[in-house]
Chains A and B, each alone.
Chain A
Amino acid sequence: MRTKITTAVAAVSALALALTGCAGGGGTDGADGGEVTLQMVESLTNPTRTELLKTMLADFEEANPGIKVQLVSPPTEQADQKIQQMLQSGSGVDVLEVRDLTVGPFSNNGWLYDMAGDLESWDGYENLTDQAKSFTIDSEGKGYFVPYGFYGLSLFYRTDLVKEAGFDGAPKTWDELVEQATAIQDPAQNRYGYAFRGGANSIGQVMSILEAYNADNLDAENAYKVTSGDSIFSTPESQTAIDKYIELFTTGSPESSVAWGYAEMVQAFTNGSTAFLLQDPEVIGVVNDSSLTEDQWSVAPNLVGPTGKAAWPMATAGWGVAEASEHKEEAVKLVEWLSGDASTTFAKENSLVPILAEAADDEFFKTGPWAAYVEMTSAPDTYLSVVEPRGSSWWTEWSQRSESDLQQVLLGKMSTADLLSGWDQYWTEKWEA
């Protein structure tokens, strides 16, 4: 009996130890003499992408004997939270996917390793596009992540519907978009002009028109400001822009789109309900897989404002190294490898704007729907490369607040003037704090 009790107590103790977290660190030294195993965690997980990453990591392992990489792929919805927990515990991760939305809090809490010093001696740095360089080493000289690609808005449009409505091509300006969307809109036939985004993350589209209308005075380092130092929401151009945007909703968009998020917008375009969709390049793959035939749709550059210019703020994500990693040298090596030639494969497979300058010469990015992206990249005076303050600690709060305010305007419960003055006050107070 005594033996049984001893066994039971030992089992309980073992369980307690396990539960209270006596786990080891992230990277481990293998028993076979100096082999390092890196733990890499992705955030924007999907099965196809995970398979691609595994293939790329196998190539890396082959090229770097002695380094193994273990990929952790939490479900997308919980991934950032999972990564945060791992970083907070100080173990379990060496290389991680860092997004422009998470780099702020992660670095602020001291969880990310500053790779700037390591990247100075990296040959691949010079191969990056200017945009990629600006994210790799930020304005404060820190290198918390190397982007693997960019997401930037462009206009998906129905070539057949535009032609049927009597227009000779895709709209180039916001004015033309409103005109064409209104002409195509016919609810009786379940046909609508523009796939309006009123739901989650609607601020990206709102900012696109505000920045286009303020393009001549935009602060490129912070597109939420104009060159005078005031917020973009305080200018008369923004009032004109937001009124135009609401007109687009009223006359050329489905009534229910006040609640539309990403899924509804893309679905509305791919099932043929709407003629226009402003979205990131990742949608190219989705439209390719839809019932729309190749001659029914295309992609046009982002819409310009009254002065013929548009801003092209890019959302991004990339690979970074955890401050707590015990194998920083190997981790940085992996980040650099992923940011080399492998990044173009990754960009192609995931429909991203590539980070390598030489990718612009790749036939893949020159043809079909990708041509619009090359056109925008090659005309930097028209499509201004700007940075939005997406790394601000209050970004999610802002995103949710702006969504709610915009919906109030769409529902007729708030004026556009009140919307803009509220947003101006919000950002001014945040910057002053």
Chain B
Amino acid sequence: MSSLSGETAGGVGARRTRPAGRRREFNGRTALTMLAFLAPAFVFVLVFTYYPLLVGGQMAFRQWSLWDLTSTPFIGWGNFQTLMADPAFTRVMWNSVIWVVGSLVPQFIIGFLIALALRKKFRFRGLYQAVVFYPWAVSGFLIGILFRWMFNSEFGVVNDLLMRFGIVEAPVPWLADPDLALVAVIVANVWYGVTFFSIMILAALQSVPDELYEAAALDGAGRARMLFQITIPTIRTTLVLTVLLRVIWIFNFPDIIYAMTGGGPADQTQIATTWMIKFTQQGEYGLASALGFITMGVLVVFTGLYLALLTREKKS
């Protein structure tokens, strides 16, 4: 009877039929132990992530200037309005888009090609992989400083090579010309980011069973067909997730631009995050925080897409 009533109780009955051993695993004492182990991480995240986020959040709606912290009145959307009214706003946002797309597409294509090349076994492959992946271990600021000198018009290696090979006749003022400066910082970022795609795509490629290619070869499929009908569909999720992750990172990555041009000349290479640094340097933390909010809004969209895809992938 009790068994019957338990079945009719639906979910409750289902819990009652759970093995006794599992119930014992999750008693009050175990919960307390788990809590004790989780607490340090929780406190850490609370103090170092959410507290600054809250403080930053309230700064965005206050007149918060380093120069006078004795008065930080609430000004509502004032900081956001100041930003939108700034003549540089449109350029900064447009530059941010160019920066992301201009960096991402070449990084993806070149990274993919390198990953395909490294998938094949050849002598010294390990050494070659280490050399190719090395840039990822270097600080973005350092990369920026190196490229700043490489693109120096008078004594940079880029112009020297271009002139030696007869590609240009006179030194090109890479970082002084507003249009070329954006190209130069994107080139540096492409060089830096290719490695990430190579690593991620190579890892995914190594999970594709060789049998698929062998079967396709027996059926007479060419390389292109294998690429588009086996390789890409099999690692599609990794590709999409990697691209989304990079969009978030590149959008949020001021290091190279800051070190190479500082956002110049004449603000022509300024993106959202370098502009934020500029406001911080001016002591205008309210404006910087408001810009941080706008940046976060954009990133939340991509993060949402990323998490949705990740969840779908886990379910599948």
Interface presence of A169 (CB below 8 A): no
Interface presence of A404 (CB below 8 A): yes
Contact in complex: B152, A256 (CB < 8 Å):
yes
Of the candidates A12, A264, A273, A397, which one forms a contact with B36 in the assembled complex, judged by CB atoms under 8 Å apart?
A12
Interface presence of B10 (CB below 8 A): no
- Which A residues lie within 8 Å of B206 (CB)? none
Besides A1-B33, A259-B173, 11 other A-B contacts (C-beta < 8 A): A8-B37, A109-B68, A109-B70, A110-B70, A199-B265, A256-B153, A256-B175, A273-B154, A404-B264, A407-B265, A407-B266
Contact in complex: A19, B43 (CB < 8 Å):
yes
Shortest distance between the CB of A419 and any CB in chain B (Å) = 12
Given contacts A15-B43, A20-B47, contact A254 B154 (CB under 8 A): yes
Within the assembled complex, what's the spacing in Å between the Cα atoms of A268 and B156? 11
Q: Which A-chain residue is minimally distant from B141 (CB atoms)?
A: A77
Within the assembled complex, what's the spacing in Å between the Cα atoms of A4 and B43? 20
Interface presence of B176 (CB below 8 A): yes
Within the assembled complex, what's the spacing in Å between the Cα atoms of A396 and B65? 12
Q: Which 6 A-B residue pairs are closest in the complex by CB-CB distance?
A: A256-B153, A393-B67, A8-B36, A256-B173, A407-B266, A258-B176
- Which B residues lie within 8 Å of A255 (CB)? 153, 171, 173, 176
Q: Does more than half of chain A's interface fall in helix, strand or loop, or is it mixed?
A: helix
Determine which residue in A190, A393, A396, A410 has the highest number of CB atoms from chain B within 10 A of its CB, and name it: A396
Contact in complex: A400, B283 (CB < 8 Å):
no
- Which B residues lie within 8 Å of A264 (CB)? 152
- Which A residues lie within 8 Å of B284 (CB)? 397
| Segment 264-301 of B: residues with Cβ below 8 Å from A | 264-267, 278, 281-284
| Segment 239-275 of A: residues with Cβ below 8 Å from B | 254-259, 261, 264, 267-268, 271, 273
Within the assembled complex, what's the spacing in Å between the Cα atoms of A93 and B178? 43
Contact in complex: A404, B267 (CB < 8 Å):
yes
Interface presence of A403 (CB below 8 A): yes
Within the assembled complex, what's the spacing in Å between the Cα atoms of A21 and B48? 12
Of the candidates B44, B171, B282, which one forms a contact with A400 in the assembled complex, judged by CB atoms under 8 Å apart?
B282
Given contacts A12-B43, A19-B44, A258-B173, contact A400 B154 (CB under 8 A): no
Interface presence of B138 (CB below 8 A): no
Interface string of A412-430 (1 = CB under 8 A from B): 0100000000000000000
B residues near A, CB below 8 A?
Answer: 29, 32-33, 36-37, 39-40, 43-44, 47-48, 65-70, 152-155, 170-171, 173-176, 178, 181, 261-262, 264-267, 278, 281-284
Contact in complex: B153, A199 (CB < 8 Å):
no
Of the candidates A8, A88, A108, A267, which one forms a contact with B67 in the assembled complex, judged by CB atoms under 8 Å apart?
A108
- Which A residues lie within 8 Å of B39 (CB)? 9, 12, 16
- Which A residues lie within 8 Å of B44 (CB)? 19
Interface presence of A320 (CB below 8 A): no
Interface string of A81-95 (1 = CB under 8 A from B): 000100010000000
Contact in complex: B155, A198 (CB < 8 Å):
no
Contact in complex: B70, A267 (CB < 8 Å):
no
Within the assembled complex, what's the spacing in Å between the Cα atoms of A190 and B156? 12
Contact in complex: B178, A109 (CB < 8 Å):
no
Interface presence of A408 (CB below 8 A): yes
Q: Which A-chain residue is minimally distant from B47 (CB atoms)?
A: A19
Shortest distance between the CB of B85 and any CB in chain A (Å) = 16
Given contacts A19-B47, A108-B68, A393-B65, contact A267 B33 (CB under 8 A): no
